[in-house]
Amino acid sequence: MNDIVRARIEQFFANYPSRYADKDEVIIQNYSDPIGVIYLVAGRVKQYDIDGRGVEIIVNSFRPYDIFPMTAVFDQTKNSYFYESTTEIEYKIAPKSDVADFLNGNHDICYDLLGYLYSYVNDIQQRMACMMRGSARSRTIFEILAECRRFGKRQKNGSYIIGIREDQLASQTGLTRETVNREISGLKNLKIISINHRGLVVHDINMLRQELGADK
């Protein structure tokens, strides 16, 4: 999403009051009909489901300037997932009809937004491919790369810092925490990543990509 489109979307949502939620607060329940479309101003939100064993499976994560759930506008289906804050958040909610009118009157924004949403679909497709290969290594590496791309803080030396815990990676990969710990230990031994008080550090993202390719 380019800066001009982002500014116009921000201007549209400025018409609606800010709302706030604490960490670990569910803002949309599964199998509910959302009252509107959320624009995330600050913080992070996870989209997830819970399987028959009671295990949380993270489908997607959202950052500031993201808009969700767009199914409320495009196909009017009921939402199937939980949306929960993983930090303190600020957000705005616009009625579905207002968002639909806004997009109908701004086709360039709609086109740009569809491209932005497709990037999420592409991530999900790649995640599915990793899961179908059945390799814990590829699933762990893919999620680390996805976190770098969407949430990572690039340092002057080219490394990335991502604030994610092993239990979060486990939820996003569908693996146990012990398995994720083992895969991270292997990457640490290769000097590709390390962990410090700021989070997980990816020292060489190109080498990490090569490791993902080598696991295919």
Looking at 126, 150, 165, the residue that finishes a domain is 126
Tokens 């080219």 sit on residue: 158
Q: CB–CB of 122/166 below 8 Å? A: no
Q: State residue 23's pLDDT score.
A: 93
CATH number at residue 64: 2.60.120.10
Helices (H), 76-190: 96-104, 107-133, 136-151, 166-173, 177-189
Q: State residue 212's pLDDT score.
A: 82
Q: State residue 160's pLDDT score.
A: 94
Three-state DSSP at 132 gives helix
Tell me: do 26 and 89 sit in the same domain. yes
- Count: domains in the chain: 2
Tell me: do 23 and 82 sit in the same domain. yes
Classify the phi-psi angles of 33: left when phi > 0, otherwise alpha if psi is within -120 to 50, otherwise beta: beta
Return per-residue pLDDT of the chain as tens, 216 residues: 678 888 999 999 999 999 999 999 999 998 888 889 999 999 999 998 887 777 788 888 898 999 998 877 777 677 889 999 999 999 999 998 999 999 989 888 888 888 877 777 777 777 777 666 668 888 899 889 988 988 888 999 999 999 888 888 887 887 888 999 999 999 999 999 999 888 899 999 999 989 887 655
Looking at 107, 126, 145, the residue that finishes a domain is 126
Q: State residue 133's pLDDT score.
A: 66
- What's the domain range around 55? 3-126
Looking at 64, 94, 126, the residue that finishes a domain is 126
Tell me: do 187 and 204 sit in the same domain. yes
